[in-house]
Amino acid sequence: MIQEVLISLNNGFLKTLQLFACTLLGAIPLGLLIAFGSMSKFLPLKGLIKTFVWIIRGTPLMLQLLIIYYGPGLLLHNNIWGGGSEGRLIAVLAAFILNYACYFSEIYRGGIESIAKGQYEAGQVLGMTKTQIFFRIVLLQVIKRIVPPMSNEIITLVKDTSLARIIAVYEIIWAGQAFIKSAGLIWPLFFTGLYYLLFCGILTLLFGYIEKKLNYFHQ
């Protein structure tokens, strides 16, 4: 029985990891685009992006997930996600990526705006282009500043993936909970906590390592 539980939990955890990795892969670059939008000098774009970020950060992720999954079917009578598990996974990822991209964008924006004007000007008077200044001078300094807040968000994401179970994406909580009904076992659900703990522990070590690596310079 134990073996059966572990196999099932492992499979659930793989789904959790998949949600986690795909969300990061989408939200990290999308967040940068949103950050640039929210700093745009073109006011209508800036206003639009800021409103969007406000809505996403001002409402629960669970609600966003439900709206994104059920909304198209209920409002437009067109369930764009289809009925299968694939469609549910894509809907969950869409909700997670949008939500986390907005949080990341605010962290990026804070990081970018905290870089001294003199760094840009030093690059300019040396004849560098805007792109060179961003990628060769500003970016690493921004990364150094945002590692602590980003690691916070990313560790929160590990646990937020469990929200996927409300639209029946079979991640690890779902897998653990299933044993209550099927076999009357409660411990598999509690046991899932160990997976989260272990994974968050690894991430904490990784971010600590990155922070230390970037400690060779001060701004």
In the complex, the residues that contact another protein under the rule CB under 8 A are: 116, 118-119, 121-130, 132, 136-137, 140-141, 144, 216-219
Report in angstroms how near the CB of residue 127 gets to another protein at its nearest: 5
| 94, 65 Cβ separation under 8 angstroms | no
In a 13 Å sphere around the CA of 43, the CA atoms on its Cβ side amount to: 0
E strand segments, the chain: none
Report in angstroms how near the CB of residue 55 gets to another protein at its nearest: 36
| 31, 105 Cβ separation under 8 angstroms | yes
79, burial (CB in 10 Å: exposed 0-12, middle 13-18, buried 19+) = middle
Report in angstroms how near the CB of residue 143 gets to another protein at its nearest: 10
Pick between residue 94 and residue 139 the one whose CB is nearest to another protein.
139
At residue 191, what is the residue type?
A: F
| 177, 21 Cβ separation under 8 angstroms | no
Pick between residue 57 and residue 130 the one whose CB is nearest to another protein.
130
Report in angstroms how near the CB of residue 194 gets to another protein at its nearest: 39
Pick between residue 57 and residue 136 the one whose CB is nearest to another protein.
136
Backbone angles phi, psi at 62, to 5 degrees: -60, -45
Report in angstroms how near the CB of residue 141 gets to another protein at its nearest: 6
The span from the CA of 78 to the CA of 160, in Å, is 28
Pick between residue 121 and residue 211 the one whose CB is nearest to another protein.
121
Pick between residue 44 and residue 118 the one whose CB is nearest to another protein.
118
